[in-house]
Amino acid sequence: MNELQFMSLKEVIELVTLKKTAIYDKIKKGEFPPQIRMGGNTIVFIKSELEFYLASKILEKDEKETVQKILEKREETFKPILEMYM
């Protein structure tokens, strides 16, 4: 697995040029990669997921299908790590 890099909401807003409310609306609709809650009020996004999302946008792919692929990849990548410790 490559080194995991996180982005803050502020960085994501700058990257995708959407407002905070638009990002959260898209997350609720399944049209944007969901955030990860780190505790308290801290949330982050996975940089590689956002890069994939933007590449898909450039190629005019369906947002919901793109997010579904991202979530499947998350499960595939991180579930084995969890299982090692269970």
Tell me: the pLDDT tens digits for 64-74?
999 999 999 99
Q: Indicate if the pLDDT at residue 2 is higher than 80.
A: no
Please state the pTM of the whole predicted model.
0.91
* Cα 86 to Cα 79: distance, rounded to the nearest angstrom: 11
Q: Indicate if the pLDDT at residue 82 is higher than 70.
A: yes
pLDDT of residue 86: 85
